[in-house]
Amino acid sequence: MHMLVGVFGVWLVSRLSDEAAAAYGLSNQIMLTFMITFRFVSVGASVVVTQCLGARDRAAAERVARASLAASMWLGLASCAVIAVGARPLLELMRLPPSLFPIAQPYLVAVGVMLAFDAMNFSMGSVLRAHTYGRDTLRLIIVMYVVQLSLSLPLMFGVGAWPGLGMNGLAIAAVIARACSFWMHRQLWIARLGIRPTFEDFWRIRREQLREVLHIGLPGAGENVVYRISFMMILAMVADMGQTALTTHTYTMQIVHFLLLFGMAIGFGTEIVVGHHIGAGELHGADRQVRGGLAVGFGVCVTLVLATALLGPRLLGLFTSDPEVIATGSKLLWLTLLVEPGRTLNLVVINGLRAAGDARFPVGFGVFSMFAVAVGLSWLLGVRLGWGLAGVWVAYAADEWVRGLAMSARWHFRGWVPHARRTLRRMRLNSRPA
């Protein structure tokens, strides 16, 4: 749903202008980077809760769930404050063309408010999914985005004689929808989990429970932070290629993000099931789950990417009528056939490693690959050799495959098993009565 609404958001903004779409795309990348600062709490909470449930320790799972709330709220508020104060310097750092500042800066400040709600929504949603209430969270997300889309049209384009607020209207709609989502998450916690969040849960930092969450979440966040930094460095290179290149990158990535959705779904599902297997001491079951997830992921990924590449000109034509953007974007969608299978390999195996407690290896190797391969090749091929966006896409593919093959080797040669056994011993020790 997030990917679909992101695509629809780009389409709405493209109705204003291609310039607005470029500003929207770059501003949203800044937002995604800030989201990483608090998503490590939701990632860690999800894994630890699944392990507790696998060990039949629901009381420990509830303590971890409550501990995630305050950490998420404070991180979300801090991110919101940084965006409010530093919007212009951040856009300058990203090499945004000066002509786009009047569009991008007010939008970034307005949409930054939603970070406070998103932080708590991510943690509450991850806890629900860890309890296998994934369908409930999906329904909630659908309602949230229906609210957002229903408000976006009148707030952006106006009603009657009122002209609307343009991109700022889209930001206001997103903030209202996130606030509604927070209220719905709270109601689901009460109805499904029997957990009624109190005021204390949102401000008191529970260090003992957070220690286990951070043990898993921080390395995962480190990997995501490195990915976002490398991506932003590449995006700055793209911005230097000109407004047309930035617009093409924005439109093409929206389509690619839709493809990414299916790999992410398989990866998240793998993480939850593997976490339950680890908590129950079923290491062979965890191994089968990862291998099965890869088989399904590859089949779905290749089919969808091929169909998307064939429909490339039509899909890009939904966003723009610029023939140069459509021609270049269509070539990039064919190159995505090289990128997405490697990304699926990464998503499934890394989530399996994290659920098994082996969270540090993906970070260490990822730092090397994302900077040396993704950023290095983007500069060499895209800038130095003049391949442009095609060179950037080749660099994306090389990075995904280098990391994916390294993660697969780690799983295949059982490098994760000692971490899984250590996690199991720690859980059994913590579950003993005092």
pLDDT mean across residues, the chain: 87
pLDDT band at 1 (very low <50, low <70, confident <90, very high): low
pLDDT band at 3 (very low <50, low <70, confident <90, very high): low
Q: Is the pLDDT of residue 269 over 80?
A: yes
Out of 141-155, 198-212, 344-358, 376-390, pick the least confident.
198-212
Q: How many angstroms separate the CA atoms of 215 and 366, rounded?
A: 18
φ, ψ at 159 (rounded to 5°): -135, 125
The pLDDT > 70 percentage for the chain reads: 96
Structure tokens belonging to residue 350:
């890394």
Residues 6+ apart with CB under 8 A from 326: 313, 316, 317, 320
Read off the pLDDT of residues 26-44 as tens digits, 9 standing for 90 and up. Answer: 888 888 888 877 777 887 8
Contact 58, 52 (CB under 8 A): yes
Q: Is the pLDDT of residue 2 over 70?
A: no
The reported pTM is 0.67
DSSP per-residue letters across 59-106:
HHHHHHHHHHHHHHHHHHHHHHHHHHHHHHHHHHHTT--GGGHHHHHH
Read off the pLDDT of residues 156-175 as tens digits, 9 standing for 90 and up. Answer: 988 878 888 888 899 899 99
What HEC string does 343-370 produce? Answer: HHHHHHHHHHHHHCCCCHHHHHHHHHHH
Q: Is the pLDDT of residue 432 over 60?
A: no
Q: Is the pLDDT of residue 181 over 90?
A: yes
Read off the pLDDT of residues 132-156 as tens digits, 9 standing for 90 and up. Answer: 888 898 899 899 999 998 999 899 9
pLDDT score for 434: 45
**What element of type H or E holds 182?**
helix 167-188
